[in-house]
Chains A and B, each alone.
Chain A
Amino acid sequence: MKPAVLIIGADKGGVGKTTLARTVLDYFAARNMPARAFDAEFPRGTLKRFHPPQTEIVDITTTPDQIKILDTLNATEVKISVIDIRAGLLSGTLKAFEDVGFFDAVRAGEFTFGLFHVLGASVASLDEIDDVMPYCVNGTYFAVKNFVNETSFFEWDPVINQSYFKKTKDAVEISIPKLTEMAYEQVELAGIPFSTFIANRTAQGQPGSYSLVLRGYVRTWLKQVFAEYDRIDLIHRLSGPQGS
Chain B
Amino acid sequence: MQRISFATIVTSSRGRDGKTLLARLLAENFILAGETPAIFDTDVVERTLSRCFSKNAIAIDIDRVTDQVGLFEALAAPSPNARVVDLTHRSFKKFFDLMISSDYLHEARERGVEPVVFYIPALDPDSFEAGRQLLARLEDYAFVVVENPYLGEIKPFDRRGVGYRALADHHLRMHIPPLDPYLANTVDDSSLSLSGFMRQPPADLSFEARDAIRTWLLAVFREISRVLRVVENPGDRSAGSSPRLERFSR
Contact = CB atoms under 8 A, between A and B. Distances in A.
Interface in B88-135: 98, 101-104, 107
B72 A217 contact: no
B73 A212 contact: yes
Contacts of A12: none
Interface stretch (B48-56, B63-71, B148-156, B158-166): B63-71
Of the candidates B65, B66, B76, B98, the one having the most CB atoms from chain A within 10 angstroms of its own CB is: B65
Interface residues of A, number: 13
B133 to A, nearest CB: 19
Nearest to B75: A212
Contacts of B101: 216-217, 219-220
B66 A182 contact: yes
A220 B66 CA distance: 18
A214 B103 contact: no
Interface in A191-223: 211-217, 219-220
A180 interface: yes
Interface residues of B, number: 14
B69 A182 contact: yes
Contacts of B66: 182
Nearest to A219: B101
B69 A216 contact: no
A213 B72 contact: yes
B76 A212 contact: yes
Interface in A28-50: none
Which DSSP category, helix, strand, loop or mixed, fits chain B's interface?
helix
B42 to A, nearest CB: 14
A78 B73 CA distance: 40
Of the candidates B68, B104, B107, the one having the most CB atoms from chain A within 10 angstroms of its own CB is: B68
A186 to B, nearest CB: 9
Interface in B23-77: 65-66, 68-69, 71-73, 76
Of the candidates A180, A183, A216, the one having the most CB atoms from chain B within 10 angstroms of its own CB is: A216
Contacts of B102: 212-213, 215-217, 219
A211 B103 contact: no
Contact of B73 (A180, A183, A211): A211
Contacts of A217: 65, 101-102
A33 B136 CA distance: 35
Contacts of A212: 72-73, 76, 102-104, 107
A213 B98 contact: yes
Contacts of B71: 213
A211 B75 CA distance: 12
A213 B68 contact: yes
Contacts of B98: 213, 216
A213 B73 contact: yes
A181 B98 CA distance: 16
A61 B84 CA distance: 60
A222 B54 CA distance: 40
26 contacts: A180-B65, A182-B66, A211-B69, A211-B72, A211-B73, A212-B72, A212-B73, A212-B104, A213-B65, A213-B68, A213-B69, A213-B71, A213-B73, A213-B98, A213-B102, A214-B65, A215-B102, A216-B98, A216-B101, A216-B102, A216-B103, A216-B104, A217-B102, A219-B101, A219-B103, A220-B101
Given A212-B104, A216-B102, 7 more contacts: A180-B65, A182-B65, A211-B69, A212-B73, A213-B98, A215-B102, A219-B101
Interface of B: 65-66, 68-69, 71-73, 76, 98, 101-104, 107
Q: Which 7 A-B pairs have the closest CB atoms?
A: A216-B102, A216-B101, A220-B101, A212-B102, A213-B72, A182-B65, A211-B69
